[in-house]
Chain A
Amino acid sequence: MTTSTVTKPSPAAPAPVTAGASVQLRLDGRWLTMCAASLLTPGRGVAVLLPDGRRQAALFLDRAGRLYAVDNRDPFSGAAVLSRGLLGSARGRVFVASPLLKQRFDLVTGQCLDDDEVRVGVYEVRLAA
């Protein structure tokens, strides 16, 4: 059983990315440390491999310092590439555009903004000292 689901995790509150800070993801009800926060560039993503050695999450940091995490797999192509997309915002919603065919996904809900039927999974994510 895993817990992090489509149920709206709220984006982590803006916090200054301090030198030693790390990014944590909630998996199976536990917070797991993924990587140093300094590896994230605002406006761009990185991919992390989850403990099962198979699944992947895409982590993003926006200009305001908010963190987001979604499933890395692009549902349109099957390739694990969402972390390599560009971040954008429209009407206050922050999204990532797939680098392959440019469909946009809301980073808070995982909803595809270009196809009502499609959604990617999202994770709760936070910054830990």
Chain B
Amino acid sequence: MPTDLPPGPPADEPAGLPTLVLVGHGMVGQRFLEELAERGVTATHRVVVLCEEPRPAYDRVQLTSYFSGRTPDELSVTDPGFLARHRIELRVGDPAERVDRAARTVTARSGFTVAYDTLVLATGSAPFVPPVPGRDATGCFVYRTVEDVLAIEEYATRHATAGAVVGGGLLGLEAAGALQGLGLATRIVEFAPRLMPAQVDEGGGAALLRTLTGRGLTVHTGVGTQEVLRDGAGAVTGMRLSDGSEVATDMVVFSAGVRPRDQLARDCGLAVGERGGVTVDELCRTSDPAVYAIGECAQACDGRVYGLVAPGYEMARTAAEAIASGTGRAFTGADMSTKLKLLGVDVASFGDAHGAAEGCLDVVYSDSRSGTYKKLVVGAGGELLGGVLVGDAEAYGTLRALTGQVPPVPAEQLVLPAGAGEARALGPEALPGDAVVCTCHNVTKAAIQACASLPEVKKCTKAGTGCGSCVKLVGQLLPASGDAGLCGCFPHTRAELYEIVRVRRVTSFAELLDTHGRQEARGGEGCETCKPAVGSIIASLAPAIGADGYVLDGEQAALQDTNDHFLANLQKNGSYSVVPRVPGGEITPEKLIVIGEVARDFGLYTKITGGQRIDLFGARVEQLPLIWARLVAAGFESGHAYGKALRTVKSCVGWTWCRYGVQDSVRMAIDLELRYRGLRAPHKLKSAVSGCARECAEARSKDFGVIATSGGWNLYVGGNGGATPRHGDLLAQDLDDAGLVRLIDRFLMFYIRTADRLERTSTWLERIEGGVDHVREVVVDDSLGLCAELEALMAEHVTHYRDEWAATLDDPERLARFVSFVNAPGAPDPMVSFVPEREQIKPDLPLLTLGPRRTADLEGTPAS
């Protein structure tokens, strides 16, 4: 074994170390490298990786998420620091072409040749394209790599309105979802009599078929593809099917299964299985003990080739252990459980889904109206052997973990929907400690419960970081985060308080506190956390619940943070800044001159902000109305820089001027800014509109960002700059103007309704269950039947909007508040002073250098 060689610190000159060569840097290859590093093998070996694709390993399982906005970089599973730290030599875009087992060398396409002591094959598999005439036509694709999805997207957007997928299995349905998402009329052609023949049984397939047809897909089952029809130029025009019919299509994606990539192994004389796959033993060794094979290219010792990532990961560990120590946990087969969300439908199968075991029985529940189908396979002794769930896979995590045991309640109760008859949902408490909860990473319930939070679980056990299907169950196994209340005064979350205020039409903070506060807080003052939060809720709902929308009226005045109270931003020396709204960042020279004059006349520091507008700093409280009187007269409005409200909608110059622009981004930005100005929210809201995909307005870093397409607008949500940047997720594509506005209306109102206090849309999307998919269901598909109400709430907001500064200037009573001292209304605050800097001013804070007064200093010191 190479490990017999003396270990030691890695030498700069790798020649002295035994060499391990890995062919294939896919998901399993990368995992194998991590397993090696964990066992110290990277320190004792030179490790060389030959990677065929033009990029390091990425998350193939999540490939389809590219179409909902994940970039290839975001899909990466390779931490560049990892490779450097462990001195792994990765040769990207240089596939292995030849293995000489006698000389123990591998030669790559570039001619690079390396001698190995240990060789590991992780070449994965290749899509199978049935040998039909026309399979090479322009417009035919497969669905396996990032390059494939890039090519599909390019072709679909330029040349296609209809698409067809050959194959109705797991990948075929993913591909169909992608085509549908690209706006193509999509059909699926499946040779087997039902969809997903490998995973689900007849009943499950039927439920799936009904649901998918209901979503606008055309599905042909029990027919094969006989020929791809082409036009004179060789581009796809249609397909001829085995039943003699012809269907029109502009592109074809083949997804008819995969074949292990074992050519390299065959060529050098390694044993391969009858139906493909490099034959390996239970330690993943091939017929040559110096050569291992893992992942989808290997045929395991149980004779199966596993087309899922979890078994591949297990093989990666087995091989790494074997290489490190000569023995390892044997890989003798794996669970083929899967849970997927395909085209919005839950599909899960686990264990012995087809009921192959002798003497087993099926327990079936099927409801064709709701498209739900559930089947459990129960052994002769009552033990759960496996099952199929379509349409409702809630119980997947628990059921999968219970496989092999006798469930604590009768099986029929496990398949009945909640609320029907005696149905009893089986809680995760029922699981034994050694039940495997995350199959991707083989993590047990006990290991998860050793952690305190989901981030900790992901960090320490990796559970939930694979396919993600176990995350829900993991969450249920963790201790509840204790008290979810907003603060010491309320036991409710912000979203709950929103509902209480909305449904009970509570218009006063005191009333809310005295009726819904914690017992000990009732009758009290509230606190600095709940007052602004409730103030914001009442303000967002003002028209709908009959409260006054003006934020400084009555009790509302006492709830606002000081910035809202003075409609300006407090600065460190007690002065304020003034930010007039500049919708879309577009401003006339006249208005610019007014801003300049006001700043000059009041001696304000002037700065262009990061939000495409101008901030005037250094105003005293009593100057604010005077400044605003001038600004309002010139047609300016409050920019709400002080509020948890809409800030700016930035724009790029767009098609009016820019040679690349495809829509009028400035007009749209102005429209959106004017529509949502003044809207109070759990946190500030930012937006931007870009005129083309070059994205000069940085729309994807905004709470709602809009990017022009030749067909309309793409809407991204949940973007954020700031401390934890996040790119927004694509919510919908190619919307027309009205459709865009309608969707933003719904999205914003749904966020306002359900977010926590000070939770930007980005954190909200990350937190809520189901994430952006859930939001899409609610605001696009109207799954909760809420959309009409959300739109109505926004319409109320738009009708009732009034500029706060104009309203303030109109009312002497409100204006009376803008004084430094109530007993000396004309007197300026002597503590606010300035010194010059770069031809403008800055705060003079001599007192700051003294630091806070200590209690000791105060003893005996008169306070007045």
Contact = CB atoms under 8 A, between A and B. Distances in A.
Interface residues of A, number: 65
B831 A89 contact: no
A6 B779 CA distance: 57
22 contacts: A1-B862, A6-B859, A27-B864, A34-B822, A35-B823, A39-B816, A43-B559, A46-B822, A48-B821, A49-B821, A55-B864, A75-B852, A79-B573, A84-B566, A87-B558, A89-B527, A90-B527, A97-B527, A99-B561, A102-B528, A116-B855, A117-B854
Q: Which of B510, B523, B562, B832 has the most CB of A within 10 A?
A: B562
Contacts of B572: 77, 79, 100
A118 B864 contact: no
Chain A at the B interface: SS class? loop
Given A5-B862, A49-B821, A84-B562, A44 B557 contact: yes
B830 interface: yes
B532 A86 contact: yes
Interface string A38-66: 01011110111110011111010011100
Interface of A: 1-6, 25, 27-28, 34-35, 39, 41-44, 46-50, 53-57, 59, 62-64, 71, 73, 75-81, 84-92, 94, 97, 99-100, 102, 104, 110-111, 115-123
A121 B864 contact: yes
B574 A80 contact: yes
Interface string B144-184: 00000000000000000000000000000000000000000
Contact of A118 (B510, B528, B853, B861): B853
Nearest to A123: B864
B65 to A, nearest CB: 39
A76 B525 contact: no
Contacts of B222: none
Interface in B504-535: 510, 520-521, 523-528, 531-532
A46 B854 CA distance: 25
A118 B851 CA distance: 11
Contact of A86 (B531, B566, B832): B531
B784 interface: no
B525 A2 contact: no
Contacts of B862: 1-5, 121
Interface string B120-155: 000000000000000000000000000000000000
Contacts of A54: 830
Contacts of B562: 81, 84-86, 99
Interface in B623-665: none
Chain B at the A interface: SS class? loop
Q: Which of B816, B822, B858 has the most CB of A within 10 A?
A: B822
B525 A62 contact: yes
B854 A78 contact: no
B552 to A, nearest CB: 10
Interface string B823-861: 110010111100000000000011110101111101111
Contacts of B263: none
Given A4-B862, A88-B526, A56 B821 contact: yes
A88 B831 CA distance: 26
A3 B861 CA distance: 10
Contacts of B846: 78
B488 interface: yes
A55 B859 CA distance: 18
Contacts of B573: 77-79
